A and B are shown apart, each in its own frame.
Chain A
Amino acid sequence: MIADWRKDRQVVRAGIGLFALALAVLPFVVSASFGNSWVRVLDFALLYIMLALGLNIVVGFAGLLDLGYIAFYAVGAYLYAVLSSPHLAGAFPSLAPGLAWPIWVILPLGALVAGLFGILLGAPTLRLRGDYLAIVTLGFGEIIRIFLNNLNAPINLTNGPQGITGIAPLHIGGVVLGRGQDILGFTVPGIHLYYYLFLLLALGIVFVTVRLEDSRIGRSWVAIREDEIAAKACGINTRNVKLLAFAMGASFGGVAGGLFAGFQEFVSPESFSLTESVMVLCMVVLGGMGNIGGVILGGLLLSVLPEILRWGAAPVQQALFGRVLLDPESLRMLLFGLALILVMLYRPAGLWPSAVRRREFEEAAEEEKEIVGLEEGSA
């Protein structure tokens, strides 16, 4: 096996090169054939991939069901919003005209603060598992959202339900990503620049997760997922390792949140509802819990598919029935739900499951066959 890989190293390198090229030209191809709004969809897909990879650490690796994950996204987003908009100057006039810190300060700070919130959530829930943990995390997500909704008094920190506007768009040095840039006499639209930044960070997160998976930490996460007492008996410091899972997962969410705020230039509590948490969880479960490739696939599909359905629902009905029978907006959720049910029925371990999960499901199926076989034999 290893010898084969070495022999094929050049092929692998060429493959990686082609893949990188494909990722690089993707926004141009998409905008040329479908329009710029679809590049925006791609940008969001990358944000969701980052979120799904972060949640995968908590749910997929460490086996801790988290239904409030979007709170960390919210923390990252609001941190960016508060630090890069004139809003804070309203509450603290001495800060006028706003802080305007550079992106390489705000994003790591967002990761750090979200990580701290992750520990804040993890610490009281160390002894909880399964359903109970899910309920507490769900509560945590709601608490953060409700705080954001109400922290406009006595000091106006979040501007309440109106959200924060006037956020400075993401900028690196003097380059404002929101505006198109002329590179070598060739205009690259702003939406493409966002794509490249998000892609870079998403690849960074993929790299970190891949390296974590087979590390000592990754192994101890798996051990805790499988059996906590046995993990303790193996000498794993379960408390720290669990907190680390929460913090790592949360920090990825914080980074994605900061990017989201700088991309949208507007944040409001509405964007961080329970449905969003559930959506990210769906991406992880549907793609294949614990498998990085699967989670990326899940994130991509679940963020792009609803857009395709939204776009296609009306014209397809027009062509089939001559008129639009069902509102595309509701039909899209209907079809989306159907797709989820079908995937879970026919691929219960996810579209692209991790090796461990696949083994488990295959063996369960085999055992079932054996039992059926025995029953048939005895009958």
Chain B
Amino acid sequence: MLEVRDLKVHYGGIAAVKGISFEVRAGEMVCLIGANGAGKTTTLKAIARMVPAQGELLYRAASIVHRPCHELIGEGLALVPEGRGVFARLSVQENLEMGAYCRAGVASKGEMSADLERIYGLLPRLAERRKQLAGTLSGGEQQMLAIGRSLMSHPKLLLLDEPSMGLAPLMVQKVFEVIQSVAAQGVTLLLVEQNAQLALSMCSRGYVMESGLITLAASSSSLLENPAVRTAYLGE
């Protein structure tokens, strides 16, 4: 589905990602864990083509490294940005409708409202708040809205940037339940998380990033048992 080869990203003179390679296979759920400043978010942004990068990016066997960001979403590569990024002054419904921006002219009105209902079915908390301004939702609800909005574009590969950030533990649980049900619908997921325990318990495989490099790549269960990972990220 997605293959990253020797990806490098610089912010001015600072190298944020120093040449990493990994892959995400169709139907998989893969996580990228690591501490602050390891380059996880930058990696996701580079894949979504929001920051210029060097290296090779293959999405569904085609190179996307020179494609503009706004075209990728039409091909099913969607990003849920860090810090949620909902349109605070638009209503929940309007936010979801913006998610279908790339499908205008392709999808009919009926399809669109069926999609909306499907997402309200998945996220009943949003259904109660259709008319409410997105900025007035709680953090967890905003995160759900951001996920719901990305689903409106019918993604095949969903990039999730720290969905647990700044949420209460109970809300984190709920958001991850939503993510799991999205995965169950056949969407391939690449998840960036600081909450390593939770991310690894959900994903099949994981990559550990440290200061711009991938230092470990293994199945989630072996990462969870790895003593280095346990001391560094699981607080033991």
Binding site for B on A (CB under 8 A): 216, 219-220, 222-223, 226-227, 229-238, 356-357, 359-360, 363
Contact = CB atoms under 8 A, between A and B. Distances in A.
Interface string B81-113: 100011111100000001101101000000000
Contacts of A236: 70, 101
Contacts of A360: 89, 133, 135
Identify the 3 closest CB pairs spanning chains A and B, nearest first: A235-B102, A235-B73, A230-B85
A223 B87 contact: yes
A233 B101 CA distance: 10
Contacts of B88: 226-227
Nearest to B102: A235
Interface of B: 48, 50, 68-74, 78-81, 85-90, 98-99, 101-102, 104, 133, 135-136, 146, 149-150, 153
Nearest to A232: B69
Contacts of B68: 237
B28 to A, nearest CB: 22
Contacts of B71: 235
Contacts of A223: 87, 90, 98, 101
A281 B196 CA distance: 49
Contacts of A220: 101
Contact of A219 (B48, B80, B86, B98): B98
Contact of B149 (A229, A234, A237, A359): A234
A227 B86 contact: yes
Nearest to B99: A234
A231 B69 CA distance: 11
Q: A-side binding surface: helix, strand, loop or mixed?
A: helix
A232 B50 contact: yes
A227 B88 CA distance: 8
A220 B149 CA distance: 15
A235 B90 contact: no
B89 A356 contact: yes
A141 to B, nearest CB: 28
Contacts of A219: 98, 101
A125 to B, nearest CB: 19
Query: Of A219, A226, A236, A237, which is in contact with the most chain B CB atoms at under 10 Å from its CB?
Result: A226
B89 A234 contact: no
B153 A235 contact: yes
B47 to A, nearest CB: 12
A247 to B, nearest CB: 19
A233 B90 contact: no
A223 B149 CA distance: 13
22 contacts: A220-B101, A223-B90, A223-B98, A229-B50, A230-B81, A230-B85, A230-B146, A230-B149, A232-B48, A232-B50, A232-B70, A233-B73, A233-B79, A233-B81, A234-B153, A235-B72, A235-B73, A235-B101, A237-B70, A238-B70, A356-B89, A360-B89
B133 A234 contact: no
Query: Of B48, B90, B149, B153, which is in contact with the most chain A CB atoms at under 10 Å from its CB?
Result: B90
A234 B90 contact: no
A157 to B, nearest CB: 39
B104 A216 contact: yes
A45 to B, nearest CB: 30
Contacts of A227: 85-88
Contacts of B50: 229, 232
A223 B81 CA distance: 14
Given A222-B87, A230-B85, A235-B102, 6 more contacts: A223-B101, A227-B88, A232-B70, A236-B101, A360-B89, A363-B133
